[in-house]
Amino acid sequence: MKTIKIFGARQNNLKNISLEIPKNKITVFTGVSGSGKSSLVFETIGAEAQRQINETQSSFVRNRLAHLGVADVDKIEHLNVPVIINQKRLGGNARSTVGTATDIYAALRLLFSRMGKPFVGYSNVFSFNHPQGMCPACEGLGYTSRINVDQLIDKNKSLNEGAIQFPTFQKGGYRWLRYAGAGYFDNDKKLKDFSHEEWNLLLYAEEHKPKHPAKEWGKTMQYIGLIPRIERDFLKKDSKEYKLRKNDLQKIIVSGMCPVCKGKRLNTKVLSATLKATILQTVPRFLSMSCCYLSAHYLQLHMKRYFMS
């Protein structure tokens, strides 16, 4: 019983092969494309193991379990209960984490909602995707992005010379008109010569109606500072403009850990709920790590081990 024995495997391009696979060891199947690796591992061994498990269940349960088909093989002996991981790339988005990708986070939310002290709400509020649970500063992402003004603006140029270095703000563009036509600035004046008041008006002004705009200014047009305009139009989650200008935004955006939640993604009220066991305090932090960050982290560790060996 120390090996899995396979007799007469003929799935797809397998040629009636027989072999033994040792248990309690990591076994790697290698070969060129089309040599039958997936046919043997997934469609033969995995399919037969899944079929044997399904046969132990009632018909009601069997109809709801995964069906991988019947393997074309004479017999397989000493199979273990399988954990089958497919070959598809891990999906998700910027909000996906180790916990959400593995579904462990749902169980952890339930645990904290039942045993966490003080009680702050039911399990849904422990989600960084829920409005009542997410950190308001980073909207549950764990990091914030700010605009690097020095990359956005060339202070040695005027508005007419194209001082705003971002697409759709070029001279003649409709977003450029919202600054050049607002009636606040000398459009031929170098930005480095702007007064403190002009500088704040250009960058940070709240939305309002200009008193003396140019004749090209639309009746319903509002003025808003350059920074809040880009944050509103380009940086908000699910923004169409963000998807269109992603490469351009990377040139002017600096990202870092959220200063409010310290990367934990949840708001202060939710984070106040704690458990006594130390391990249960560290697990949520691990599960809230983004999948991309975790993959990069472990890749870096393996690279260090490789070059140091």
Instruction: Provide the 3-class DSSP secondary structure of residue 208.
Output: strand
The 3-state secondary structure of 77-89 reads ECCCCCCCCCCCC
Class of domain 146-255: mainly alpha
Half-sphere exposure of 81 (CA within 13 A, CB side): 4
Instruction: Kindly state the tokens that stand for 198.
Output: 């002009």
Instruction: Provide the 3-class DSSP secondary structure of residue 75.
Output: strand
State yes or no: pLDDT of 109 exceeds 80: yes
Q: Are strands 143-147 and 73-77 parallel, antiparallel or unpaired?
A: unpaired
Which tens digits make up the pLDDT trace of 19-60?
A: 999 998 999 999 998 899 999 999 999 999 888 888 888 888
Query: Distance (Å, rounded) from C-alpha 87 to C-alpha 38?
Result: 9
Which tens digits make up the pLDDT trace of 217-275?
A: 988 999 999 999 998 888 775 677 777 888 888 889 888 899 999 888 999 998 888 87
Which tens digits make up the pLDDT trace of 74-101?
A: 999 998 887 777 777 766 666 777 777 7
Query: Distance (Å, rounded) from C-alpha 287 to C-alpha 107?
Result: 11
Mean pLDDT, range 165-180, rounded to an integer: 89
What pLDDT is attached to residue 55?
85
What pLDDT is attached to residue 302?
43
Q: Look at the chain and count its residues.
A: 309
Mean pLDDT, range 158-167, rounded to an integer: 93
State yes or no: pLDDT of 187 exceeds 90: yes
User: What pTM value is reported for the model?
Assistant: 0.53
Q: Which CATH architecture has domain 104-142+258-308?
A: Up-down Bundle (1.20)
Q: List the domain boundaries for the chain.
A: 3-77, 104-142+258-308, 146-255
What pLDDT is attached to residue 6?
94
What pLDDT is attached to residue 144?
87
State yes or no: pLDDT of 172 exceeds 50: yes
Cβ-based burial of 61 (10 A; exposed 0-12, middle 13-18, buried ≥19): exposed
